[in-house]
Amino acid sequence: MGLSIGIIGLPNVGKSSTFNALTKAQNAQSANYPFCTIEPNRAVVNVPDKRLLALAKIVNPERVLHSVVEFVDIAGLVRGASKGEGLGNQFLANIKECDAILHMVRCFEDGNITHVEGRIDPIGDIEIIELELLLADIQTLNKRIERLQKQAKTDKEAKNSLECAHALLAHLENLLPVRSFGGKDSEAFEVLNKELRFLSNKAVIFGANVEENAINGNAYSKQVFEYAHSHGAEAIVICSKLEEEMVDMDEAERKEFLKSLGCEESGLEQIIRTGFAKLGLISYFTAGVKEVRSWTIHQGDKAPVAAGVIHKDFEKGFIRAETISYDDFIQYGGEAKAKEAGALRVEGRDYVVQDGDVMHFRFNV
């Protein structure tokens, strides 16, 4: 299981520059005109996790494998995207594939960089994008309702889905996003969302893109944070220009540079940490001589589900999970000494995996 984050926003707000910086790929074209990006750029990057390196020092494996995040640089949306403006339908379809959205918002003034709306207004920018996502969901839902009305005549499940769809449509027509719909816990909604992947139901992180001298925020970014918190979303301050400057720095240089700016984390670290928390994701580890590896699961997943992330056969044939907490593994210096100290636990099917667990699965083929 990986995390996929789509980078969206109006044209010329710093999406491609941010993508370049976050992925260190430098392969997303960046230019001062709308629709510079048409096909989405994709890049897979490692999830920063210091715990992996600590485990590797003890185990001395042949290789170390991080969990990964896929970043997707999606072309700039514009007013009318839900009706196809600016190739909007194509771009909106790309968002459906992502688990979460990084919504980049322009929070800087620069007369040399064109704003598609001709002004600097972070909240106005956000509302344009949010409305287009919502209108796209209305279109998608209306099409589904047409099909359900025919199926509901003979199918009880379709009838339940239709009732839910009508309630959701009324919610959307009041210009309220799917994420605030009161019927989200119903089975009928889960079926609809799994099929239609509503855009306004995606977890959102707002990235307030500021100038170099405002890395800790400015009046514009304050507006973005207030909007995010009032709408159940998250927000971070990021300077895409400074992030790009750090691309060629080694780890020590990057840390020193961030420290000089009064920052503890890079933009990448902020986004991944926030994304994991927003989606309820955690990591567990496997640690052997061949590899030390991080695996991504949902908080609350039980041991067989966690095993299935490695291979579906592990879940099907699950017997038990030999488990050591990360802290115990480090404290005792590895599996053997942790076992001697009684810190290795044998967990069954009902065990809820904890963040940082070091696990070894036993299973039948």
Tell whether 119 is covered by a domain: yes
Q: Judge if 118 and 202 occupy the same domain.
A: yes
Q: Are 147 and 137 in contact (CB under 8 A)?
A: no
What's the one-letter identity of residue 270? Answer: Q
Tell whether 288 is covered by a domain: no
Q: Judge if 243 and 350 occupy the same domain.
A: no
Q: Are 183 and 189 in contact (CB under 8 A)?
A: yes
Q: Judge if 29 and 67 occupy the same domain.
A: yes
Q: Judge if 67 and 197 occupy the same domain.
A: yes
Q: Judge if 237 and 342 occupy the same domain.
A: no
For the cut 50, the answer to whether the pLDDT of residue 32 exceeds it is no
Tell whether 295 is covered by a domain: no
Q: Are 92 and 82 in contact (CB under 8 A)?
A: yes
CA 345 from chain centre, in angstroms, equals 32
CA-derived radius of gyration, the chain? 23
Q: Judge if 22 and 76 occupy the same domain.
A: yes
**261/256 Cα distance (integer angstroms):** 9
Tell whether 143 is covered by a domain: yes
**100/243 Cα distance (integer angstroms):** 21
What's the one-letter identity of residue 319? Answer: I
Q: Judge if 87 and 195 occupy the same domain.
A: yes
Over range 241-264, report the average pLDDT.
Answer: 85
- Highest mean predicted confidence (pLDDT) among 17-26, 93-102, 272-281, 297-306: 297-306
42 versus 225: the higher-pLDDT residue is 225
**101/129 Cα distance (integer angstroms):** 12
For the cut 60, the answer to whether the pLDDT of residue 226 exceeds it is yes
Q: Judge if 273 and 308 occupy the same domain.
A: no
Q: Judge if 184 and 243 occupy the same domain.
A: yes
Q: Which two tokens stand for residue 230?
A: 């009032």
Torsion of the alpha carbons at 131, 125, 227 and 98, rounded to the nearest 10: 60
Q: What is the largest CA-CA distance in the chain?
A: 68
**Domain end position, chosen among 277, 309, 337:** 277
Tell me phi and psi for residue 295, to 5 degrees: -125, 140
**Domain end position, chosen among 224, 244, 277:** 277
Task: Specify the number of domains making up the chain.
Answer: 2
Q: Judge if 241 and 324 occupy the same domain.
A: no
Q: Judge if 251 and 310 occupy the same domain.
A: no
122 versus 46: the higher-pLDDT residue is 122
On average, the pLDDT of the chain sits at 87
Tell whether 338 is covered by a domain: yes
Q: Judge if 239 and 327 occupy the same domain.
A: no
pLDDT bin (cut points 50, 70, 90) of residue 28 is very low
pLDDT bin (cut points 50, 70, 90) of residue 88 is very low
Tell whether 264 is covered by a domain: yes
For the cut 90, the answer to whether the pLDDT of residue 245 exceeds it is no
CATH number at residue 337: 3.10.20.30
For the cut 90, the answer to whether the pLDDT of residue 79 exceeds it is no
311: containing domain: 300-363
CATH number at residue 78: 3.40.50.300
Least confident of 28-37, 114-123, 188-197: 28-37
**Domain end position, chosen among 225, 243, 277:** 277
pLDDT bin (cut points 50, 70, 90) of residue 116 is low
Tell whether 287 is covered by a domain: no
Q: What pLDDT score does 75 carry?
A: 65
Tell whether 76 is covered by a domain: yes
